[in-house]
Amino acid sequence: MSANTIYDHAPLGSLIRYSDGTPKPPSRFSKKVAAWERRNGTGRLVKNDPPRERESWSAPATITLHESNFETNGIILVTVMRTHSVTSDLIFKVIERPAIGMVYVLQHLGENVELLHLVESREAAELWLAKNPHARIYRDPDPPGHRADDRPFRLCPEAPAPRRLPWRNGISAGQSRLQDLQRPGHAQAGGMHLACRGHRLCRTTGIIGGYPHRRR
């Protein structure tokens, strides 16, 4: 199938294989092997970005696959992700879909969401969240998108929009975060909401510390 089919129908968390249809070169040809690996691999679908239209340019929709992590002593140093345009000439295949009942840990990115973690139980998700605090975290206990006509995720419309942390005159980023923590309404803005499939109701279930990373 095409990348456009993956974008339209594959649920987030699916394991995707992509290929250009050519055999892998012998290992002694290191440059050819490296070029082949850039067009052949497997990754988990973590994000679908819609097309963008501007006055002077336009960009097609894209899919992002999480391929691997490089870590030392349990600390992730490098995360390998690969983004493919829906106009890609590669061949894509869904080799595994998330099972019903798995728990999604999601993060808002503007009007979009990114899959941060996928686990088999709520307890495992809580443990991961305790070790990896993020802002704007949403838990979805039932992965939508198992039917071909479903969009990958339906998040509650009242979910809070992400806030950017501006640099303030004479105030460091750490001091800025501390001041934001002391502001009224922080508990509600930084709350964790439960987004259930088929329901439009959000309820606050806890407070997750941390803020979105400032883009540099």
**Phi–psi pair at 51, nearest 5 degrees:** -65, 150
Q: Are residues 80 and 112 in the same domain?
A: no
Domain that holds residue 57: 3-96
Q: Are residues 71 and 86 in the same domain?
A: yes
Q: Average the pLDDT over each of 9-13, 63-67, 161-165 and give the range with the smallest value.
A: 161-165
Domain boundary at 59, 78, 96, which?
96
Residues in contact with 36: Cβ distance below 8 Å, sequence separation at least 6, in sequence order: 20, 22, 24, 25
Residue 11: C-alpha distances to residues 67, 113, 116, 145, 150 (Å): 16, 12, 14, 5, 8
- pLDDT one-digit tens code per residue, 47-79: 999 998 888 889 999 999 999 888 888 777 888
pLDDT, greater one: 80 or 176: 80
Percent of the chain with pLDDT over 90: 31
Q: How many domains does the chain have?
A: 2
Q: Are residues 44 and 89 in the same domain?
A: yes
Average pLDDT in the 79-100 region? 91
Q: Are residues 70 and 144 in the same domain?
A: no
This prediction's pTM: 0.61
Q: Are residues 86 and 123 in the same domain?
A: no
Looking at the domain assignment, is residue 213 inside a domain? no
Residues in contact with 163: Cβ distance below 8 Å, sequence separation at least 6, in sequence order: 189, 211, 212
Give the β-pairing of 15-19 and 91-96.
antiparallel
pLDDT, greater one: 172 or 108: 108
Looking at the domain assignment, is residue 215 inside a domain? no
Q: Are residues 45 and 86 in the same domain?
A: yes
